[in-house]
Structures are given as C-alpha cells and as structure tokens.
Amino acid sequence: MKVIKAKNLKNHIAFATLLIMVLFTDLAFAQKATWIWYPGDYEIWLGNKMQNRRTDRDSFLPVLWKMDSHYVLIEFHKDFNVPAAEEVKLNVEGIYNVKVDGQAFPGYPKSITVPAGHHKLSLKVYCQNHVPSIFVQGKTIVSDDTWLVTFEDKEWIDATGTVSDKSGTTYLNAGSWNFNNILSPPSQFKLPTEPQYAVKSDKAPHSFFLDFGKETFGFVKLHGLKGRGKLHIYYGESKEEALSTDHCETLDELTVSEPHKKDSVMELSKAFRYINVQFDGSISVDSVSMLYEYAPLNERGGFHCSDEEVNKIYDVAKYTLHLATREFFIDGIKRDRWIWSGDAYQSYLMNYYSFFDSPTVSRTMLALRGKDPVTSHINTIMDYTFYWFLGIYDYYQYTGDKTFIKQFYPRMQSLMDYCLGRRNKDGMMVGLPGDWVFIDWADGLSKKGEVSFEQMLFCRSLETMSLCAELNNDPMGAVKYNALAADLKTKIFKYYWNSQQHALVHSRVNGVQTANVTRYANMFGIFFNYFTEQQKQEVKQHVLLNDKIQKITTPYMRFYELEALCAMGEQPYVLKEMKNYWGGMFKLGATSFWEEYDPTKTGADIYAMYGRPFGKSLCHAWGASPIYLLGKYYLGVKPLSPGYQAYIVEPNLGGLQWMEGAIPTPNGAIKLYCSTKQIRISADEGNGILRFKSKTAPVCKQTMVMAKGKNVYEIQMQKGETFVIDYNAI
C-alpha cells in the first residue's frame, strides 16, 4: 500500500474524481437509451388520445378541428463505431425489421449482436395504432435523439441497378421524452395517480355526497360495489353543480351487475370538488374515494411575500396551473380539456416562472401544430395561429432550445404560408369563411373587417419567423419576413392610430377607421414595445386607466392588461387589482381560479356561462396569471438572450414590504429576496444584471454598484455567487 503524501493528496483526489467521472460517464452513456420516434408524432398521437377523453353529460365530445396522425412507417438509423462486439437489446412498438449495414435479421429479434467496427444500425417500423417507436440498448449502441429518422427512406437497393439518389430524402433527429425504460413503451404512458379522500362524506341508503375540500381531478373509485341496477355519478366543481343532476356538465352512468363486492375505478378522469353518487336496485357501495391524477412537475419557482392574500393568490394560481398542466397544457380541467393555443400560450409563460417544464411546452406546441397541409387556423381561430408563433418566440428566449426551432421550421413556414395566402388586398388578415376571430369573450365585441389586435399578433408572428429564419440559415426568408413585418407595422400605425383618441382604434371596416377603441391592441402595443414612450403614456392614460373603455372580464385578457400596466411601472396599482380580482374569487369560495369572473354577478349566476347554468370552468389555466406577473414584474426576472445566457432582474415591490422567490432557468434558478432595505440575489447560470432604484447610494460588499441614472443602480452578477445589496427602496 502506498502512502500518499499530503501535497499529492489533492492530485490523487482529482484523479480519482476523474476516474469516477469517466466511469460515471460510461455508465451514464450506457444508461442513456430512451424510446425514440419521429419528432412531433408522439405529441400528435398523445394529443388525440387526451383530447378525445372529453365527455359532455356522458356524450363523447371531441374537438371541432382536424386531428392529424403519426406517420405509420418510419426508418430509424445511426452509424456507430463499435469498440468490441456487443449485444444490443431491442424493444419496438410495431412490426419491424433490423438491419446492420443493410442486412436484415430474420423475424423480430429482441436482441442482436453487432460486431466491432464501423456499422450502420437501422430499424424500420410500421405501426398504425400508435407511434412507431424503438428502444435500443447496448453498451455503446443506444437509442437517443442523435438517431436520424425519416418517413420515406427511398431505400433503393443498389443491387437492382436502380438509380439510387437518396439525397432528396429529409432526415430529422429522432424525438424523445423521458421514456427510459425498455419495458415501458410510449403507448403505455399514463400520468401518475395517488389516492385522495373526501373531507366530508354524506352516505344515505342509495347515495353518497362527497366534498373533497378543493377542486381536484382524477378517477372516482367505488369501494365494495355490489348488486344490480343503475349507478350515476354527478360531478360538480360547485356543490350546486353536483346536486343538479339535470344540468351538471359531467356525469357517469353505470349499469352494475356485480354479485360480489368489488372495487371499481371509473374509466375516465373528471374534474370536481363535489360528487353526488346515486344508485338504485340492489346496489350497495361501501365507500367512495378517488385517484388523483397529476403531472409530475417539479416546483422550480416560488414566491412568498409580506401580504398573505397575495401569497394565497400565488399558491392557488400555481395549483390551478398544475391541475391544467397534464399531458399538455389544457384550458380547463372540467372543460374543454382541449389544447387551445391562446390558452396554452399563457400557460407557457406561467410555466417559465414556476415549473419550467420545457417538454410540456414543446409537446403542446407540436400537438397544436399538427401536420401539413394546413387546412384551417389552429383551433380554427386566427388569433390562436398567431399565439402559436409567439409561443415559439418565447420558448426560444426562455429555453434556448435551438433544435426545436430547427426541426420544426418547415412547419412554421407552411403555417405562415397559410396566413400569407389569406391576406386581403391591403395585406391585412381578416376573418374569412371558416375562420373564428376570437379575441376575447366580451359582449358586443366587433370581429368585422381588419381588426387591429389581429394585425398586431400577425406582425409579431412575422417577426418570429424572421428570427427563426435567421437561426435556420435562411437569410432570404429572414429578409422576406422582416420586410413583411416592417411593412405591416407601418400600416398598423397608419390605419389605426388615432391621435384624437390617443390610441389604436379597434378596426377598419371597408377601409375606414372605426371610432371604437378597445384595450386589446393597445395593451399588446405596450409590451411588444411597438409604441413610442409618448404613445405608451397616452395609451396608459386614455385606455388602460380609462373606465369608459369597455372593461375586461376574463382572466385571459386581464393577463395582458395587467402585464401592460406592469410594463409601465404600475406594480402598486396592479397589486391592488390583483387582490380585488383574484381575491374576489376567494370570497365566492374559489379553490382554483376561474375561466371568467365578473364581480357584479351573484348567486347561482356566478357558475353560468355559454347559456348553461354550470357552463363555466372553475379551474382554468388562464386564471393563473399572477404566477407570471409576480415572477416577471415583481421579482422582475426576464431573459435577455436565449436560455437566460443573459438576463435582467428588476425587482419591484409594488407596495409589498418584502418578497422572496425563485425563478427557474434552464439549468438552475435565480433566487431573490427583496425588502425595502435589502436585496439578496444569486443565480446558477447566465450573465445577469440586477437593476433597482434607491433613494440613497446602495452598498454591496461583493461587487461594485454602478449608478445608471437618477436613483437607478445596477450590479453585474456572477453565477454561483450571492449578492447582498443594502439600499433604500423607492
């Protein structure tokens, strides 16, 4: 045994660490196999599956637009340099062949031996029911997203004398998620569940009435079900709904014939707080519980402050978002349980300030986009097509994921081509037959002619295309989209800006500016930074803070309204609005945030929407915007370059005494505490700037504080270090 001298110890440890790292890397590499598929296909398939789980009073209620399908036949391949012959295990969804250097093995092997040397391993898989997928696990040969895939391999065997020019074939990198177990194929994926029990359960001879204490989601479980007869489960997000057997939005009807006691779990998950179970005949039930179904998200962001109501708003918002984050970002858990692009867009933004679950963002965008040809706007809604582009812009900014942009640039192009093909003679987007111009649920909102709000979103979409074109080495495209965007922006101001009204008007009809001013285009103009500073102030005064302009009643558009105000530094005002509006829902008993909230409504009327007494969704993702507002405009964290390589933190207490929280970044978080006297901040990655206002000169022991203007100071942050700044907040 060698005695190690003290001065060498460090080196030995370093060497040992290196060794462990090598071993670990090798091990990690060997373990890195994952199920792979044609990118975008699993997302479409799973989206179909999830969205077709909706029922409306026990009738199947699917989406109203085209559902695409996966490619049923896929070729997967990769070239390997194999150091020594190795055994490779295979699992495949579909019927398939496996080839090494073009030579097929007979049958459907579960394991093959690949000899040492340079070899091409390829699999070709046909599967109609679900997505052709493979899992390949050897020592050095593993399936991952470095494999190439195509839906038309044009594999012309040279021996036939055929002209063999495969250069026309497009290969993409394989898609994957986190299916790392050879025995758990993608088609079997299910969200996890765990048992939950009612906080109150009223049992009667032929019924149960249960209260689970708060909004929840999952599968009802009937314990000890026995007998013959009919059993009904009426679900309610409110007590009134569960009691309204004629009008509750969802229900189950079971024909029971169980001679022996048996536990029975409903096939479809539902949203509810209350359930009303009624049965006849000889049926008996011991008890009723549920399996709570949830997306296994990490709580990577957080917010806590001196105001307990705001804390509750943040927590309920996060719970609301978590419930509405499932296989995809859906609108609401009772209904529609569909992926709506405008709703999802807000979920993406809220997600960046909470779970930072990027795969759910990209998965949702892929499911929304579907495949070519484009036959309709996304969800049939013009604005929702544009939000899809905006989502890509943000996705790249927050995650820095260039691969996604690269793989799906052709689908962006074809969707944009669809839009460009639908412009009118003035180059503006108007609603054509079959188009839904949505904007917002608001009484009397005009959708006629060229709506300014739609052109704003269209312009931002073109800017996104220009950015993506640049990223994809398409300089011609970048120039084209840029020119289109610039031209459209000029028109927007020429056609809609009304200096008497100090705002953009709502629309042009037959080429004539209408007199109507609404909040929509004006609030986007602020945080898109399309307005001059002067225009922003005019719009703030004459639109945002003007009670004569039609009010917004959906949390959906409240999101942007409050964002615009925050962007103008109106955090104190917005904090009050937040407490009034979201706090107002608490006063009506909300345990999650609603699709719509009108403070003027009372009684049973508060649950009505779409002409149905319980039509309103009481757990709607777009109700969760405080997560985003508090993260981006109070903690004040924003990426400045893709994936937080550069970012800025501009905390704004907005009247709070103190606040603290974490904002996730791709590989870490930015942690912040801020009171009126001190800021403490640290970040795991990126180059950050902390910018704040102070009445007096601030002090930071760790670094220099730079004065940047009247009462404005900045520090340059270093990743991994904690900075403590003593200051005097304005």
200-259 positions binding a copy of itself, by CB under 8 A: 253
Our finding on whether 111 is near a copy of itself (CB under 8 A) is no
Nearest to 593 by CA among 635, 628, 631: 628
Nearer to a copy of itself, 67 or 648 (CB): 67
Residue in 3, 6, 159, 204 binding a copy of itself, rule: CB under 8 A: 159
Select from 104-112, 140-148, 360-368, 476-484 the region that touches a copy of itself (CB under 8 A): 104-112
Residue in 60, 81, 183, 205 binding a copy of itself, rule: CB under 8 A: 60
Our finding on whether 190 is near a copy of itself (CB under 8 A) is no
CB of 441 vs a copy of itself, minimal distance in Å: 8
Select from 326-334, 394-402, 429-437, 695-703 the region that touches a copy of itself (CB under 8 A): 429-437
What's the start-to-end Cα distance of the chain, in Å? 66
Of 68-87, which residues contact a copy of itself (CB under 8 A)?
68-73
**Residue 97: both structure tokens together:** 């062949």
Select from 22-30, 111-119, 437-445, 626-634 the region that touches a copy of itself (CB under 8 A): 437-445
Our finding on whether 476 is near a copy of itself (CB under 8 A) is no
Nearest to 33 by CA among 253, 191, 182, 155: 182
Our finding on whether 171 is near a copy of itself (CB under 8 A) is no
* Strand ranges inside 483-545, DSSP E: 497-498, 503-504, 507-509, 512-513
Spatial distance between the Cα atoms of 261 and 15, rounded to a whole number of angstroms: 64
Spatial distance between the Cα atoms of 89 and 136, rounded to a whole number of angstroms: 6
Of 595-654, which residues contact a copy of itself (CB under 8 A)?
610-612
Our finding on whether 156 is near a copy of itself (CB under 8 A) is yes
Spatial distance between the Cα atoms of 372 and 410, rounded to a whole number of angstroms: 10
DSSP one-letter code for 96: E
Would residue 725 be called left, alpha or beta, if left means φ above 0 and alpha means ψ between -120 and 50 degrees?
A: beta
DSSP SS3 for 219? strand
CB of 120 vs a copy of itself, minimal distance in Å: 16
Residue in 1, 7, 81, 107 binding a copy of itself, rule: CB under 8 A: 107
Peptide bond into 373 cis (omega under 30): yes
Our finding on whether 516 is near a copy of itself (CB under 8 A) is no
Nearest to 313 by CA among 114, 132, 538, 575: 575
Nearer to a copy of itself, 96 or 628 (CB): 96
Amino acid present at 540: K
Select from 92-100, 306-314, 317-325, 460-468 the region that touches a copy of itself (CB under 8 A): 92-100
Residue in 38, 76, 80, 96 binding a copy of itself, rule: CB under 8 A: 96
Residue in 155, 577, 684, 685 binding a copy of itself, rule: CB under 8 A: 155
Our finding on whether 423 is near a copy of itself (CB under 8 A) is no
Our finding on whether 296 is near a copy of itself (CB under 8 A) is no
Of 10-49, which residues contact a copy of itself (CB under 8 A)?
45, 48-49
**Residue 93: both structure tokens together:** 């969804």
Of 112-131, which residues contact a copy of itself (CB under 8 A)?
124, 126, 128-130
Nearer to a copy of itself, 77 or 576 (CB): 77
Spatial distance between the Cα atoms of 432 and 429, rounded to a whole number of angstroms: 9
How big is the chain, counted in residues?
A: 730
Spatial distance between the Cα atoms of 155 and 135, rounded to a whole number of angstroms: 22
CB of 677 vs a copy of itself, minimal distance in Å: 51
Our finding on whether 370 is near a copy of itself (CB under 8 A) is no
CA angle 141, 146, 147 (to 5 degrees): 70
Our finding on whether 531 is near a copy of itself (CB under 8 A) is no
Our finding on whether 499 is near a copy of itself (CB under 8 A) is no
Q: Are 125 and 95 in contact (CB under 8 A)?
A: yes
Burial class (CB in 10 A: 0-12, 13-18, 19+), 148: middle
CB of 256 vs a copy of itself, minimal distance in Å: 15
Of 375-414, which residues contact a copy of itself (CB under 8 A)?
375-376, 380, 414
DSSP SS3 for 638? strand
CB of 266 vs a copy of itself, minimal distance in Å: 14
Our finding on whether 696 is near a copy of itself (CB under 8 A) is no
Q: Measure Cα distances from 464 to 41, 467, 512 in Å.
A: 24, 5, 29
CB of 414 vs a copy of itself, minimal distance in Å: 8
